Amino acid sequence: MDCNDQHVEYENAKKIKMDKNGYNINNFIDTGAVAEDFLKTFYTAITSDNIQSLFDNNNIRNYTTIKYNNDKIEGSSIIEFLSNFNNYSVNLNQYNHIDSGSRRIDISVIGSLTNAKENLNFSQTFIICNQNDSWYIKNSIFMTF
């Protein structure tokens, strides 16, 4: 099938409403403020060697996954991985977010990690979800370059 052979009116296309139950928290909050607060909490915790607070506050849960290079990091291994960054300071060069569903925000970050020995540029994406009035990391991809 050739895409050019069909003419579709997208301007008048309407989303079909499904009979859904549930509470769409993203309709009632400032997702930008949530993303900004989340990033501040996360990067402050990892650079001040207070990673346990992310678990205590349910920002990281048992099913949180972080991907770094080819490594999939889960469970207690997350503390060990994030502890590698407690001697760095973080500079967020830019970030952006988008609400993605009724209880999810996707966040993309570009920044740098610096200490006395090195300067690492990084990119990190987060999928954060809301449950029981708290936001937690569902998945994150972390890359240094």
17 has a pLDDT exceeding 60:
no
Residue 136 identity (one-letter amino acid):
Y
pLDDT digits (tens, 9 = 90+) for 60-103: 999 999 999 899 999 989 999 999 999 999 999 999 999 998 89
For residue 17, being part of any structural domain is answered with: no
Tokens representing residue 117 in the block: 């020995």
CB atoms within 10 A of CB 38: 19
For residue 22, being part of any structural domain is answered with: no
Instruction: Output 113-122 pairs: Cβ under 8 A, ≥24 positions apart.
Output: 113/85, 113/88, 113/89, 113/144, 114/88, 114/89, 115/87, 115/88, 115/89, 120/88, 120/144, 120/145, 121/145
* Better-scored residue on pLDDT, 24 or 78: 78
Prediction pTM value: 0.82
For residue 44, being part of any structural domain is answered with: yes
For residue 105, being part of any structural domain is answered with: yes
Which pairing describes strands 134-144 and 60-68: parallel, antiparallel, or unpaired? parallel
Q: What are phi and psi of 50, to 5 degrees?
A: -125, 45
Domain total for the chain? 1
Instruction: Check residue 10 and give its pLDDT.
Output: 39
For residue 137, being part of any structural domain is answered with: yes
For residue 7, being part of any structural domain is answered with: no
Domain that holds residue 34: 29-144
Here the CATH number for the domain that contains residue 107 is 3.10.450.50
Please choose, from the candidates 65, 59, 69, the residue with its C-alpha nearest in 3D space to the C-alpha of residue 78: 65
For residue 88, being part of any structural domain is answered with: yes
For the chain, the C-alpha Rg in angstroms (whole number) is 19
16 has a pLDDT exceeding 50:
no
CA dihedral 81, 83, 84, 90 (to 10 degrees): 110
For residue 16, being part of any structural domain is answered with: no
